[in-house]
Every structure is written in structure tokens, then in C-alpha cells.
Amino acid sequence: MKKILDEYKEFALKGNVMDMAIGIVIGGAFATIASSLVANIIAPIIGLLSSGVDTVDLFLVLKEGAVGTPYLSLDQANKDGAVTLSYGLFINSVFSFLIVSWITFILIKAINRINRKEERDIFNKTKDCPMCFSEIHKKAMICPNCTSKIETIT
């Protein structure tokens, strides 16, 4: 049992798992911000452009509720017990997904650009020794591995 707990501890505390956990927490918080952006800014603008209808109130009544009167809002239909197809909420969810995925794409693209720059910087600081083919600093005149003189060879 102790061996299993030690293996789990090693797994859980590795950098990748911790990075993933942090990413999930930040992603959840960001999804909340994106949902708020859609519900409080984008949806009202779309509603204003589309004859004043709020996207949340875009729905179809599949089965009327107890009262059965025409419903002016999704909230009113839900309170009456009507069965609805809430496509306005689906549209909001699609907008939220598009915003989150777009910003995630931009962030990952920026991170990849930084990583590639770091790789280029490391590559530009070294060269291969022509005698032993080990990686050495690009300004080295003597290879620290095979002690050959680089300045006379290249």
C-alpha cells in the first residue's frame, strides 16, 4: 500500500500534472468571464440588432405548461412548466466556446513563439566540434571534451 501511495505522490506532484491542474482552474475562471461577456455584452448587442429580442429568450415551446398562454420569456415558460427548446441559450454557449477557444489559440500560439525563440537562442549559442562532434559554445577556441583547437580547424 505504501508503494502505491508513493507512486501516486510522485505522479501527482510532477510538474506536468500541477501545470495541468493550474490550467484547469484558470480555464474555468476564464470560461466564467467569457460567459459573462456573451450574456452581458454580446447577446444584448445581437438583440438590439435583431429587433430587440434577447438571445436568451429565443426558444420554441414543445409542450405548453399549466397555463398555456403565449410566453414572452424563457423564464416565464419555465415557471409555467412548459417544455422548451432553448436555442438562444445554445447560441450563447457557442459564442462562449468561440471566445474561449480563440483566446486559447492566441495564448498557445504566443507560448509556442516564445519557446521557438528560446530554442533558436540556445542553438545560436553553440556549435559542434569538428573533431569529436560534441556541442560547445560558439566562441570556444578549444573543445573542452577532446581538447582540439577549434580556431585552426575551422
pLDDT under 70: residue ranges of the chain: 15, 120-123, 151-154
Look at residue 121 in the predicted model and tell me its pLDDT.
64
In 3-state terms, what secondary structure has residue 142?
Answer: strand
Q: How far is CA 127 from the centre of its chain?
A: 37
Region for residue 116 given its phi and psi (left: phi exceeds 0; alpha: psi -120 to 50; beta: otherwise): alpha
pLDDT score recorded for residue 82: 92
Q: Of how many residues is the chain composed? A: 154
Which uninterrupted H or E stretch holds 29?
Answer: helix 15-37
Q: How many CB atoms lie within 10 A of CB 35?
A: 17
126 with 150: CB under 8 angstroms? no
Q: How many whole angstroms separate alpha carbon 150 and alpha carbon 154?
A: 6
pLDDT in tens, 56-100: 888 999 999 888 778 888 999 999 999 999 998 898 888 888 888
Question: Exposed, middle or buried by CB within 10 Å (0-12, 13-18, 19+), for 31?
Answer: middle
Sequence-distant (≥ 6) Cβ neighbours of residue 85 within 8 angstroms = 59, 60, 62
| Residue 81 to residue 88: CA distance in whole angstroms | 18
Average pLDDT, the chain: 83
Q: What are phi and psi of 130, to 5 degrees?
A: -70, -15
pTM of the model: 0.57
Q: What is the pLDDT of residue 80?
A: 92
